[in-house]
Amino acid sequence: MTQQTRDEVDGLLPHDEFRAVGDAIVGNIEQVIEGKTATVQLALAVLLAEGHLLIEDVPGVGKTKLAKALARSIDCSVRRIQFTPDLLPSDVTGVSVYNQETHDFEFRPGAVFANLVVGDEINRASPKTQSALLECMEERQVTVDGVTYPLQTPFMVVATQNPIEMEGTYPLPEAQRDRFTARIAMGYPDAGAELAMLDGHGATDPLESLRPVSDASTVSRLITHVRQIHVADAVKRYAVELVTATREAPDLRLGASPRATLQLLRTARAVAALEGRDYVLPDDLQVLAVPVLAHRIIPTADAHLARRTTDTIVSDLVHRLPLPLPQERRRSSYDTRPATNKGRAPYEPRRA
């Protein structure tokens, strides 16, 4: 049985097709975002992991452009919400309006009813309005006046926010931050990328000419593929150990939640698929630890006074925690597979 036939039987896309679509989306976004390949790839991985993305950085570094470029690269329904202090929860979720002709209430969907929702400067809205996204992001549904309305599939929230030290911002509550799969920062571009930006963005906005390179149905197929990426037991244990370490770290008064463990593995599956693998490596978890875990944890007062950021704390935990041994080295302790499987790549699923 060939690899492609086996993939079709398992419900997976051929790896070449998956990577081609992923590379096309990343390349399309990079027409707008210069020199940020890793950031763009992570944003796509979060989409394929059925998660939500928080982009936090200072103004003017391309947070909204990244969100818009991702939205325009996929031919699906897109809505943008400009979060302001006077924005109401009903503007996000929708509202029931009385129809004088039918003498009944009709539901008018809010901006969240789309495949991809861009929430611009989410921390400029009040906590009450921010909390309107809680049910949407976790349960992919909206409940208004006792009636539940399902959201579209796929569904993703890409929110941008300025650092909380800036004026006119409200820090996101812990429950809200925990629903974002990953938090990324754009950072300033290097000199070469900024020069290229001056050439490419000088006369026209590249967003205006950006065209979709995929659609919602294709993205749904990619998501189905990602769900079936193999994760070895040793890698699962390593993910649990990594998250547990945040709960026991002396520098933290709040560690990562079980939801963080689930989203860490889901995103690792997406990263593995985008790299052409059908199995997850411990290295994937190491790379994703900071963007997936750091925004969910809270440092102690002493750590804050010592200027130890959550990114630094998680990075230190990753370096201190030993990597799991490859399966073949641990064979004598728990592996009951026949010896004919010996020699395959560590953490790789068995082949029929």
- Out of 228, 246, 272, pick the residue that ends a domain: 228
Shared domain for 194 and 296, answered yes or no, is: no
Separation of alpha carbons 112 and 119, rounded Å: 9
| 202 and 350 fall within a common domain | no
Instruction: For residues 200 and 173, state if they share a domain.
Output: yes
Q: pLDDT tens across 93-133, in order?
A: 999 888 888 888 888 999 999 999 999 999 899 888 988 89
Q: How far is CA 216 from CA 101, 246, 282, in A?
A: 36, 36, 30
Q: Which residue has the tokens 């947070």?
A: 63
Q: 186 and 41, same structural domain?
A: yes
Q: Global pTM?
A: 0.86
DSSP H helices, 13-160, are 15-29, 37-48, 63-72, 89-93, 127-130, 134-139
What whole-number distance in Å separates Cα of residue 202 and Cα of residue 319?
43
177-224 per-position pLDDT tens digit: 999 999 998 888 788 877 877 776 666 777 888 899 999 999 999 999
Pair (156, 267) in one structural domain? no
Question: Looking at the 3D structure of the chain, how many domains does it have?
Answer: 2
> Which residues span the domain enclosing 308?
230-332+345-352
Q: How far apart are CA 320 and CA 330, in angstroms?
A: 21
> Distance from CA of residue 299 to its chain's centroid?
23
In a 13 Å sphere around the CA of 25, the CA atoms on its Cβ side amount to 30
Question: What is the domain-level CATH number for residue 38?
Answer: 3.40.50.300
For residue 6, is it within any domain?
A: no
Supply the pLDDT for residue 2: 47
Does one domain contain both 303 and 313? Answer: yes
Look at residue 204 and give its three-state secondary structure: coil
Domain membership of residue 98 (yes or no) is no
Pairing label, strands 252-254, 298-299: antiparallel
> Quick one: 324 and 243 in the same domain?
yes
Asked whether residue 103 is domain-assigned, the answer is no
Asked if residue 238 and residue 224 are part of one domain, the reply reads no
Domain co-membership, 272 together with 351: yes
CATH number at residue 255: 1.10.8.80
Asked if residue 340 has pLDDT above 50, the reply is: no
Q: 180 and 294: one domain?
A: no
Report the C-alpha gap between 263 and 267 in whole angstroms: 6
Residue 143 lies in a domain: no
How many Å apart are CA 252 and CA 303, to the nearest integer?
Answer: 8
Looking at 228, 247, 268, which one is the last position of a domain?
228
